[in-house]
Structure 1
Amino acid sequence: MLAPSSKMSRHIFIQSLLFAVLFVILLIWISSPQARFSSDTVSTAVSTADSTVVSTAVSTAASTAAPARLQPDIPNYAHFVFLLEKPESDFPFVFFQYLSMYAAWYYLRPDKIYLHTDAREQQIKRAREGLAGKWSKLIFEIPGLTINHVKSPTVARNGVKIQHMAHKSDFIRVEAIREFGGLYMDFDVFAIRDLRQLLTSGFESISGREPGGLMTAGAFLAQKQSKIMNMWAEQMHQVFDQGWITHSNGLMTRIGEQLIPDPRQILVLEQDAFTPVTYSPGGVESFLESHQNVPSALQDHKDGETLPFLNHYDEPQGSGAMNFNKSYSVHAFRIEETGIEVSPRSILERRSDIGRVLYPVVRDMYNQGVISLDEK
């Protein structure tokens, strides 16, 4: 009979031997190709199933809704058109026209501001020398101003005479954006915030609705030789009939809505984007009119002091004040026909909607010493 210590030693030996045998069997199983295949079959089945679902979904999405290729950026050029009614006359620019161009410079810092005009070199020289008035001189001093000489059109290719100055401008603006690309603005359109994010939207052209539902021809953006500009430039000569919108907003809208389904051809913004002020009787007037119950922002101001910065939404505001949070520009259509004065003082007092929304621009003019409060 073995002693207790001998029995214990034998028991430990047997346990160690069993563990060793089990370890060897485990190593053989792991290294076995059949075992690996069996194990991999499960994971491969799961992996294959997952990848099949994912790849099928991606493939299906790609085949049914392939992402549209982003278009190159629209160049940061601002365009204005001014044709002289009398070929020998000086530029008759007034403050609101300078304000329009200055606002474009203030918010866009464009690489170029094009002035497309039929004026002769002598008239341009007189304007630069201040002989055509202060506002003409200041317009020709705006940084980046580039003069593009154009010939005022007199007849469309369909034989219909082009007589109205606004219609002549319509033909010039379309050709200008077609040739150079950029942002076109009428002289009664005022930029009220930075539009440069629109230039990099990936769309070939951008327009907005105006009151009544048509696309606005008073402010729009496009690449040079874009599809809409090429079609518009050609077809406006075919449809021109001396009507107000046949060749302009009407044709632009028809072509634009035809191109909307084409990927990245045109982005059409809501009415508030470019034309928040209605064109109906009294619409522009209400935008311009001062409200005497609103305190003047100049009441405690001493001439020569720096003016504080105020946004359009800052107090004080009158009752019924317009909200411009959704707008890039304002089109004060035919502002010159309202008979309401627009001056540096009327803007800086901030008693009107135009005063509130353009105060930052005119404030910059004033703080730079470009204007005084009592100029008209």
Structure 2
Amino acid sequence: MMRSPGATLHCSGWRRYAIAVVLAITTAVVLNTYFDISSIVPWRPRLPTLQTFPVAPLTGACDGIPPPKSDAHDDAADAAADAAAAPIPIPNLVHYVWLLADPSVLSFDFKVFVSVYSAHLYFRPDRIYFHTDAAPDLWERAKTSGDPWTRRVLNIPGVTPNFVENPRSTSGGVEIDTFGAKSDFLRADALRRHGGIYLDVDAVPLRDVAPLRRAGFANVVGGAVALRTKHAGFVNTGVWLARPHSTLAEVFFRAMDAFYNGVWAVSVDILTDLAYRLHAIPGEVLIVHPRAFAPTSWELEDQERLFRPHGWSAGQRSLSAAGDGGDDDGSAGVRLPGKEGLGNTCADALAWLAKREERSDGAGPEGWEMDFSSTYVLHAFDDYADQVRGWDGKITLKYVLARQSNYARAVYPAIWHALEAGIIPKEETQ
């Protein structure tokens, strides 16, 4: 009696398939053992084990890497040709806005001195303009008989008043009633007319911005650090470099007049939208990383990081102790950022990285220290300074000289320079 195919499969078919599968696996193993079939499978590199690394991974790491070439030209003809072909730089003019709450009082504190003197020291500008509604005779009196910090600010070389009217309303009749909004209108007018570098008075230069002024862009602005997503993506309005009559400056000035609605922060929205929109025009806008102009945000957590004093004290060291890039023993003198104090060779970079990795767990004596190597201007927001733990919220000479905070360490070299130059009497450090 013959069985149907279905009955045959039901009884013994699974055994036949099992035998076939075993034979196929055996054949694959044999082929993989005796034949090279690597060409028909994707390549997968074998990751090295720990034992394959050299015992001293940095030994010889810099071999064959020459130091960076100097920017100087040995050939005078080449230098002249480069200068002729270079784009028009942004003017080396600094702009501040200073409006009076009381028309009879013109006074500057130490915090303003820190910003203005740092701009004078690092930028070496042709002029430092104060766009102010102070009366000319009040300016002159303050320059000769004001309080000490006011006199020091007004007598910094290049400081020049530009007497302006206090903006009261837009052409559409919207009242401009806050100092922040008034400053937005005046800074835009100054940059579109004259070009240069606008700084808020809490923005402190840490090195020369000449590379940015000469980068070939009509405007240079920076992103803003944000600790929360809803605040991310904006442009910082407290530092702005521009050529005179640049498209961004001209459009921003007109947009502020057209769209200002009484809310101060609208200027941030307008500058951000325009900067990103005009970025598509070649050479119009360079938007640099937030660390360049504002490495910390305006939020309390960041102000804690920037201003909070720590237990380590430099107060007993010599005033010539390095504040940025100097030796820990205080004997090398201040090395101004962007000068000889910042090593730029391969060995320098590896030594810095090794030191940083040692502190990566924050357990070192200076684990709180921030790195401002990539910062041109430190926009030091201090709106919540009075809430910073362990600090009275006052930026003073004594506070900076102690070098117990990131802010103090960052601005110390310029203040030391002012002390050495006799602009700040050393008796005031006692």
2:238 matched to 1:185? no
Sort the Cα spacing of 1:289 and 1:71 in 2 relative to 1 into closer, same or farther, 3 A. same
Q: Alpha-carbon deviation of 1:373?
A: 6.1
Shift, 1:86, TM fit: 1.8
Q: Distance in 2 between matches of 1:325 and 1:120?
A: 40
1:221 and 2:225 equivalent? no
Q: Would you say 1:331 and 2:346 are equivalent positions?
A: no
CA RMSD of aligned residues (A): 2.0
**1:285 CA displacement:** 3.2
Letter in 2 for 1:322: M
Distance 1:136 1:353 in 2: 25
CA deviation after TM superposition for structure 1 residue 308, in Å: 3.5
**Is 2:83 the partner of 1:82?**
no
State the partner residue of 2:66.
none
* Corresponding residue SS for 1:282: helix
1:171 and 2:185 are equivalent in the alignment: yes
C-alpha distance in 2, partners of 1:177/1:222?
A: 6
Following TM superposition, by how much is the alpha carbon of 1:186 offset from its aligned partner in structure 2, in angstroms? Answer: 0.3
| Secondary structure at the counterpart of residue 96 of structure 2 | strand
Cα deviation 1:80-105 (Å, max 9, x = unaligned) = 110001222x2131100111111111
Deviation (angstroms), 1:138: 0.8
1:108 matched residue in structure 2 = 123
Q: How many residues align?
A: 299
CA contact (8 A) 1:80 1:185 kept: yes
CA change 1:344–1:237 in 2 (3 A) is same
Equivalent residue in structure 2 for 1:320, among 353, 368, 374: 368
Contact 1:344 1:375 in 2 (8 A): yes
Query: Percent identity of the aligned residues?
Result: 29
Alignment partner of 1:261 is 2:280: yes
User: Residue by residue, what CA displacement relative to the aligned partner does 1:182-219 show, whole Å, maximum 9, x if unpaired?
Assistant: 00000000011111111110001000001222111100
Q: Is the 8 A contact 1:343 1:375 kept in 2?
A: no
Q: 1:244 aligns with which of 254, 261, 264?
A: 264
State the match for 2:48 in structure 1: none
**Counterpart residue type for residue 126 of structure 1:** R
Quote the offset at 1:335 in angstroms.
Answer: 5.1
Matched residues in 1 for 2:317 and 2:159: separation? Answer: 36
**What is the DSSP-based 3-state SS (H/G/I as helix, E as strand, rest coil) of the residue aligned with 1:129?**
helix
Deviation at 1:179, TM superposition (A): 0.7
Give the C-alpha shift of residue 252 in structure 1.
0.6
Between stretches 336-345 and 274-283, larger displacement belongs to 336-345
Shift of 1:145: 1.2
Shift of the 208–265 alpha-carbon distance from structure 1 to 2, 3 Å rule, reads same
User: Counterpart in 1 of 2:389?
Assistant: none
Aligned-residue offset at 1:244:
2.4
CA deviation map 1:218-261 (0-9, x unaligned)? 00100000000000011111110111221x11101111111111
Paired letter, 1:351: Q
Contact in 2 for aligned 1:117/1:149 (Cα 8 Å): yes
Deviation at 1:119, TM superposition (A): 0.2
Shift of 1:314: 5.8
Distance of 1:93 and 1:175 partners within structure 2: 23
CA distance in structure 2 between the aligned counterparts of 1:147 and 1:357, rounded to whole angstroms: 28
**Alignment partners' CA distance in 1, 2:317 and 2:280:** 55
Match of 1:360 among 413, 418, 428: 413
Counterparts of residues 108-147 of structure 1 (less than 5 Å): 108-131=123-146, 133-147=147-161
Quick one: distance in 2 between partners of 1:159 and 1:237?
Answer: 10
SS of residue matched to 1:113: strand
Unmatched 5+ residue regions in structure 2? 1-84, 226-231, 330-364, 387-391
Shift of 1:158: 2.0
**For the Cα contact (< 8 Å) 1:245–1:251, is it kept in 2?**
no
Q: 1:312 touches 1:357 (CA, 8 Å); kept in 2?
A: no
Question: What is aligned with 2:310?
Answer: 291
Distance 1:158 1:253 in 2: 23
The DSSP-based 3-state class of the residue aligned with 2:300 is coil
Q: Which runs of at least 4 in structure 1 moved beyond 4 Å after TM superposition?
A: 312-317
Residues 76 and 110, structure 1, Cα contact 8 Å, conserved in 2? yes
The alpha-carbon deviation at position 315 of structure 1 amounts to 4.5
1:93 maps to 108
Cα distance in 2, alignment partners of residues 166 and 373 from structure 1: 36
Cα distance in 1 for partners of 2:378, 2:327 equals 18
Query: Aligned with 2:119: secondary structure?
Result: helix
Asked if the contact 2:107–2:142 (Cα under 8 Å) also holds between the matched residues in 1, the reply is no
| Aligned-partner SS, 2:237 | coil
Contact 1:190 / 1:331 at 8 angstroms: preserved in 2?
yes
Letter in 2 for 1:344: L
Shift of 1:334: 3.5
Select the residue among 126, 139, 161 that pairs with 2:175. Answer: 161
